[in-house]
Structure formats: C-alpha cells, structure tokens
Amino acid sequence: MDQVLVKMSTYTADVSGVCSALYELGGMVVIHDPSGCNSTYNTHDEPRWYSMDSLVFISGLKEIDAIMGNDDKFIRDVEEAAQQLKPRFIALVRTPVPMMIGTDFEAIAAMIEEDTGITTFYVPTNGMHSYIDGAGAAFEKLARLMTDEISGKPARDPADGSICVNLLGVTPLDFSVGSMVASMKDFVADSGFRLVSCVAMGSSPEEIARAGSADVNIVVSSTGFRAAQVLKDRFGTPWVVGTPCGGFGAAVAADVRRAAASGEDIISYDSAQMPEMKYRAGYYIIGELVTSSSAAAALMMRDGEAPQVICPLEPPAELRKEPAAFIRAENAIRERLADAGTVIADPMYKRLCPDGAQLIAVPHEAYSGRIYRKQIPDMIKLEI
C-alpha cells in the first residue's frame, strides 16, 4: 500500500513549509490547529527557532469550537496578538481539522485585515502535502503581496550594469543553516551578478520587495518556482531553475546570462547546453527535484557519470523532466533501489537500500530533521 511507511521517514509537510518560508520576514504566522503542529515544526523543521525569533503560534483549537464553528475566538486571539506584537503581516495556516469542517479562511483573513489594518492572508495547506506545496504557496503569496502595488518593473540603478538576480526557494529545509546559503551568494558574486534578494533567508523584507527589479530569477529549489512564475507574469522576469552545485554552477551562470539576454526561461539541468548525461546503472540520488537534479548534473561534470534522480516529493509539473523518477511509496522506492550499488541520500534512506549498497550520506533537513544536521555537507561546493 502506497500510504504505509514501515521504514521510511516522512518529509516536512506543507504547514511547516509555510512557516519556514515566511520565518525571517517579520510577520506573524498562526497555525489553526489544536496542538502539535507548532511543536513538530519548531522542533524538527526549524533550525533557527532557538537563535532567531519569529512570531509563529498555534491557535489551540478545541473540539467544541470546531463543532460550533466558533471562529470568533480564533479571530479575536489573532487580532489581540497582532495588536500587541505588531507584525508586518499575518499568515493563517490551515491544518486537517479546519479543512474538514470548511473553515472560511478567506473571510477570516479579510475580517482580521479590516480590523487590524495589517495585511492578512491564508495559505491553503492541509497537512497532507509536502513542504514543496506549503513553502511554494507561501513564496507565491509573498511574491504577489510584495509586488501588488507596483506597476511596471521597478527601477534599477542605471549605473549598475551587472545582471541582477534573486535566489528563489531558499529555506533551511533544503539548505540548512550551515554554509550553503553563503555559498550560493558567493556564486552570485563570483559570477559577476548582483543579488537583489535571497528569498527567504538572509534578506530583509525591503530587499525582497525589490525582487521585481531583478533581470533573472534563479530558482534553487522547487519551492521557489511558483514565486518565479508570479514575477514572470508581473514583470516579465525570466527564470532559470538550477542549484549552482560545483561545476554545474558555471552552467547555471551561463543560463542566467542567456536568460537575461533573451528573456527565455531555462531549466538548467535539462537544457540543450548540458552535456549528455551518462547514467550508471545502480547509481541513484534521492531528494528534492531541483537540488538533486543539479547535484546529478554537477557529478556528471566532475566524475563523467551521473546518478539517476528519485524524487519522493511533488514538484510542479513544469520542472519534472525525464529520466527523473517521481516515486513516493516506500515499496516502490525499495523496488527501484533493488539494483542499487551507490545511493546518495539522507542517511534515513539506508533502511531501504539493499544489502551491500553504499550510501553516500547527504542529510536533508526536510527529511531527517535535526538528527544529522552537523553532517550536512555544502552541496554548493559539492562536498561529497
């Protein structure tokens, strides 16, 4: 049965994905749930929780309030907290029970916004999808809100001749809190580009609000794609999908220059400019689609052979390129790995590998949480 997990862990879900995406932006995120979702998120999915404050709360939904449709308490509690804490925005996050009972989040958000004067929106999660959905939806919402009142492409410094870029889809779920984000920023600088914003780690809301001024958006994880589509729609900004791992970074940089010149959208790990991938039988990489496909391309450039990508998540359809396999069920992954000789994956996948297969451990926060955090290599520098 596809839904049975005996040996696998489960990826960060959509609710936590929203919280992670919006963490550094000065807003208040309220998870409408009895309990547990906040603890799950801040214990296992948020490495910044201890060292960096953010306003993420849970509503403490009770049975009687759910049955009676007592949204008043939820609204009142959110408004009271907002009046006290004065967040830049309020994000309401939906979980399974509010979804089941049809809580009208659109109306609640509108009421809160009217009462408080604070931009309020809701993200239609339900706890049953992965962080790709949740963070993706949050970044999309962010892209819309922060550019809502801007008409036309924001002005740039005319003296600045460099290609201006945003990094989209940056959360600790894919990049942890080690050196990878800094390495990506180094890539931008070393490539001669100028960083407008890193969405959303290490950039202020003011910097993100200027995201529309970029020449190209670099989507470094699936979570950033929906925001890239919004920015394309609003400002015509082309996107390049690819994480600049190792030698593959040069290919991404070349695609950025091409996109800046032509306006075309490019999936770097699938572009015609990529050398033909030589896949060795029994050699796999498991993880998020963009980072894994990019790492596979980088390994091809470095080693002359590439692992086949297995993605157990739900990336946007536009990013799914063969021969990557989109397999979620434990039995199906085990079956696929039957011939595995070498697997690059989070250590928790060891239990699915056949005896004798070598696991090259690349821990993934969105999979094993904090268990192997200190062992997460800098994949931008291709430290494997």
Considering only residues 207 through 246, tell me which ones interact with another protein, judged by CB under 8 A.
none
Minimum distance of another protein from residue 244's CB (angstroms): 22
Up-side HSE of residue 181: CA atoms within 13 Å toward CB?
A: 20
Return the DSSP state at 155.
P
Q: Are 55 and 28 in contact (CB under 8 A)?
A: yes
Q: Does residue 37 belong to the site contacting another protein (CB under 8 A)?
A: yes
Q: Does residue 16 belong to the site contacting another protein (CB under 8 A)?
A: yes
Q: Does residue 377 belong to the site contacting another protein (CB under 8 A)?
A: no
Give dist(CA 348, CA 350) in Å, integer.
Answer: 5
Of 2-10, 115-123, 161-169, 272-280, the window that binds another protein (rule: CB under 8 A) is: 2-10
User: Which are the contacts of 117, defined by CB distance < 8 A and separation ≥ 6?
Assistant: none
Site for another protein in 334-363 (CB under 8 A): 348, 351
Give dist(CA 249, CA 212) in Å, integer.
Answer: 23
Minimum distance of another protein from residue 170's CB (angstroms): 13
Site for another protein in 138-197 (CB under 8 A): none
- Looking at 20, 40, 166, 213, which residue binds another protein (CB under 8 A)? 40
- Looking at 20, 130, 147, 293, which residue binds another protein (CB under 8 A)? 130
Q: Does residue 42 belong to the site contacting another protein (CB under 8 A)?
A: yes
Minimum distance of another protein from residue 53's CB (angstroms): 4
Minimum distance of another protein from residue 203's CB (angstroms): 7
200: nearest Cα among 168, 236, 153: 168
Return the DSSP state at 279.
E
Residues recorded for the chain: 384
What per-residue string of b and e applies to 52-89 under the rule 16 or more CB within 10 Å gives b?
eebbbebbebeeebbeeeebeebbeebbebbeeeebeb
The 275-314 site mask, x for binding another protein (CB under 8 A), equals ----------------------------------------
- Looking at 100, 189, 261, 338, which residue binds another protein (CB under 8 A)? 100
Residue holding tokens 């979570």?
223
Q: Which amino acid is at 99?
A: M
Site for another protein in 62-91 (CB under 8 A): 62-64, 66, 77-78, 80-81, 84-86
Q: Does residue 38 belong to the site contacting another protein (CB under 8 A)?
A: yes
CA distances from 365 to 95, 189, 229, 380 (A): 22, 26, 26, 16
- Give the largest Cα separation in the chain, rounded: 63
Q: Give the residues across from 122 on adjacent strands.
A: 92
Minimum distance of another protein from residue 350's CB (angstroms): 11
Question: 321 vs 351, which CB is nearer to another protein?
Answer: 351
Minimum distance of another protein from residue 36's CB (angstroms): 5
Of 97-105, 168-176, 225-233, 299-307, the window that binds another protein (rule: CB under 8 A) is: 97-105
